[in-house]
Amino acid sequence: AQRVTQPEKLLSVFKGAPVELKCNYSYSGSPELFWYVQYSRQRLQLLLRHISRESIKGFTADLNKGETSFHLKKPFAQEEDSAMYYCALNLYQGAQKLVFGQGTRLTINP
Partner 1 sequence: KAGVTQTPRYLIKTRGQQVTLSCSPISGHRSVSWYQQTPGQGLQFLFEYFSETQRNKGNFPGRFSGRQFSNSRSEMNVSTLELGDSALYLCASSLGAGLTEAFFGQGTRLTVV
Please work out the total of residues on this chain that contact partner 1, with binding judged by CB under 8 A.
23
Binding segment for partner 1 (CB under 8 A), chosen from 23-31, 54-62, 71-79, 95-103, is 95-103
Among 86, 104, 106, 108, binds partner 1 (CB under 8 A): 86
Nearest approach in angstroms of CB 76 to partner 1 is: 27
* 20-59 residues near partner 1, rule: CB under 8 A: 32, 34, 36, 43-46, 49
Distance in angstroms (rounded) separating the CA atoms of residues 15 and 110:
5
SS3 80: helix
Nearest approach in angstroms of CB 27 to partner 1 is: 14
Binding segment for partner 1 (CB under 8 A), chosen from 10-18, 19-27, 69-77, 96-104, is 96-104
The CA-based angle 102-105-107, given to 5 degrees, is: 170
Phi and psi dihedrals of 94, rounded to 5? 85, -25
Nearest approach in angstroms of CB 37 to partner 1 is: 11
Q: If you ran DSSP here, which 8-state letter would residue 78 be given?
A: -
Long-range contact list for 43-52, CB < 8 A, 24+ apart? 44/86, 47/72, 47/85, 48/72
Residues in touch with partner 1 (CB under 8 A): 32, 34, 36, 43-46, 49, 86, 90-103
